[in-house]
A and B are shown apart, each in its own frame.
Chain A
Amino acid sequence: MTLEMYLLLSAVLFSLGLFAALSQRNLIAVLIGVELMMNAASLNFMAFNRFSVTDPATGQVFVLIIIGLAAAEVAIFLSIILNLYRQRHTIDAESITELRR
């Protein structure tokens, strides 16, 4: 596969994640869309790392950091979801409208 094919695949995955984050009602599904977008970004890093960088450790370090940040983000997001469900008994993104008065 060439660099352009990897970039195209990554663009498709990013758009799928964007669609999920925009259209889903369940907050967990929105989180899944964000995860898809982050993975598209790391695929981009790895593709450029393979095809146009002289020191291949750089891109791999970037991807490892993305994975670590995703883990931290998921921990915070899930605790917020649990707290929300405990207080409101719903995690529907469209029924959390306290600020819209």
Chain B
Amino acid sequence: MTVELIVVSLFVVLAVAGGVMAARSRQILYNIIGLGISLFGIAGLFLQLGSPFVAAMQLLIYIGGIVVAIVFAMMLSMPMAIDPPARSLPKTIFAAIGSGLFLAGLVGLLNNTTFETRPTAGDEAWAVSRIGNALLEHYNLVFEALSVVLLLAIIGAILIARRDRTPA
């Protein structure tokens, strides 16, 4: 029990610390590393919440795909040697006030709400095959729409980023 508690709090610390690193740093590489750390912590929490499959997908798609794609964009766009421009102080202050107010609102909402909890379903309801059945039966339309969205995103990304071959 205590070992489990230690592991869970480690994941929580990873998620929050990575988030702080991603939100505060001015060096874009540190932002990306912080995002990766935070995503890893959240994947661990998914594992703790009883879904190894979604945790694995989080690791594979988010950390293995999205973070690597962001690193590529960083390498293709930003010269690393140049010192990043400073953020103006009023902008940072207003952003902090805005997000702080948002956080206070959420915490107040949490304090004033009682959530109805139920005992979790048995082990066979958490099996990966149940997710596959749900995707292909009940959520069939969502699944197909997502595949169309991904196809459109790929085609659109190619169209937008294509180097113009005709001389201007």
* Contact in complex: A82, B121 (CB < 8 Å): no
Question: Which B residues from 94 to 116 make CB contacts under 8 A with A?
Answer: 94-96, 98-100, 102-103, 106-107, 110, 115-116
**Chain B contacts of A68 at CB under 8 A?**
61, 146, 149-150
Contacting A at CB under 8 A, from B111-164, are 115-118, 120-121, 125-126, 130-131, 133-135, 139, 142, 146, 149-150, 152-154, 156-158, 160-161, 163
Bound Cα distance A17, B24 (Å): 10
Interface size class of B (residues with CB under 8 A): 35 or more
The reply to whether B23 and A17 contact each other, CB–CB distance below 8 Å, is yes
Q: Is the CB of A11 within 8 A of B98?
A: no
- When A and B form their complex, what is the total count of cross-chain residue pairs whose Cβ atoms lie within 8 Å? 233
In the complex, A71 Cα to B134 Cα: how many Å?
A: 21
**Chain A interface, number of residues (Cβ within 8 angstroms):** 69
Of A8, A49, A67, A91, which contacts B49 at CB under 8 A?
A49
In angstroms, how far is the closest chain A Cβ from the Cβ of B160? 4
B78 contacts A by Cβ under 8 Å? yes
Contacts of B95 in A (CB 8 A): 18-19, 22-23
Which A residues are CB-close (under 8 A) to B61?
67-68, 71
In contact, B106 and A11 (Cβ under 8 angstroms): yes
Residues 1-19 of chain A: 1 if any B CB is under 8 Å from the residue's CB, otherwise 0? 1011011110111111111
Given contacts A70-B62, A82-B161, A83-B160, contact A15 B100 (CB under 8 A): yes
In the complex, which of the residues A20, A36, A69, A81 contacts B77, with contact meaning CB atoms closer than 8 Å?
A81
- Which listed residue, A28, A29, A75, A86, touches B154 by the CB 8 Å rule? A75
Contacts of A61 in B (CB 8 A): 131, 134-135, 139, 142
* A-B CB contact pairs (8 Å), 20 listed: A11-B107, A12-B16, A12-B19, A12-B103, A14-B106, A16-B20, A31-B70, A32-B34, A35-B35, A39-B38, A43-B42, A46-B54, A49-B49, A55-B125, A61-B135, A63-B46, A63-B54, A68-B61, A76-B157, A79-B157
Chain B residues proximal to chain A, CB less than 8 Å: 8, 12, 15-16, 19-20, 22-24, 28, 31-32, 34-35, 38-39, 42, 45-46, 48-51, 53-54, 57-58, 61-62, 65-66, 69-70, 72-74, 76-78, 84-85, 87, 91-92, 94-96, 98-100, 102-103, 106-107, 110, 115-118, 120-121, 125-126, 130-131, 133-135, 139, 142, 146, 149-150, 152-154, 156-158, 160-161, 163
Closest 5 CB pairs of A and B: A72-B153, A23-B95, A79-B161, A22-B95, A15-B103
